[in-house]
Structure 1
């Protein structure tokens, strides 16, 4: 296996291990909520004036799929929609008090996972972090260009 394949394989395995390790705790603490719902709540909680377009771009989902997801969250009382007085066309979302409870539980779980993994990240030098981040950002930009080249427009789907 060449280095490129090794990197991709290790990255995929690492991601799968994180998901596996975190899954049981997340499912137990956030019973009745799908990961997509929780992550949508997280995004809305962290980003003011979230709308369907911003959510679709952030999650690499179609606007139609995001519309369905946000409608589910509204029905569950976790988010609410609003409009700005100066823009009656655009619909934005914010989390409700009930949504803030889910948001807080999710943030506490992430903090627990950060503490669990702190032992390994303490061993990484600034230069190593910089190198990893540089590579990941380059690879991400490459994939963005490939998505664009294929003519995939997340806004219109």
Structure 2
């Protein structure tokens, strides 16, 4: 069956799908990213979020929601990263159940090493290409990626139903 409905955008859609599959495949796998630690892309996202928002002292549930992952998945990432010494957990003085997560000094050093590696390996090329594109087109591409992400998120929220159809011969 042909997929003509995509028309001239078939290659573009293929590239989005290819990227999504590649990212999904590597999302939970741990690599060293030229550091002495093994960590996953999911864990890098946790580090980045915490570093960008370290003054907010958000609890774990708030952070999980902002990252778009379940509380249990977030807790697993945090547990692994605390064990590695990348994160530190604190209880708030007013509520012992309320746990605040902070990036440790080691976590900050490792993140700096990761950033240097990621920039040289990938983002330097991407940023160079983006420098050649007018900002209005970059904004349109961002909108396309947002739509793609929303469609994926919506798909995973749909109720999983199985409809059996009887075929008579």
TM-score (structure 2 length as normaliser): 0.65
Aligned equivalent of 1:122: 131
Deviation at residue 95 of structure 1 after TM alignment:
0.8
Aligned equivalent of 1:81: 89
CA distance in 2 between counterparts of 1:28 and 1:85 reads 37
SS in 2 for 1:89: coil
**8 Å CA contact 2:88, 2:102 repeated in 1:** yes
Higher helix fraction (1 or 2): 1
Q: Whose RCO is larger (CA < 8 A, sep 6+)?
A: 1
Uncovered stretches (5+) of structure 1, i.e. residues with no partner: 20-25, 152-157
**8 Å CA contact 2:33, 2:114 repeated in 1:** no
SS in 2 for 1:93: strand
CA distance in 2 between counterparts of 1:129 and 1:40 reads 25
Aligned equivalent of 1:7: 12
Taking the TM superposition and a 5 Å limit, the aligned residue runs for 1:78-157 are 78-112=86-120, 113-150=122-159
2:34 to 22, 29, 32: 29
Larger radius of gyration: 2
Aligned equivalent of 2:47: 41
**8 Å CA contact 2:64, 2:71 repeated in 1:** yes
Deviation at residue 149 of structure 1 after TM alignment:
4.6
**8 Å CA contact 1:37, 1:69 repeated in 2:** yes
Between Structure 1 and Structure 2, how many residues are aligned? 146
Of 141-150 and 69-78, deviating more is 141-150
Uncovered stretches (5+) of structure 2, i.e. residues with no partner: 25-30, 161-169
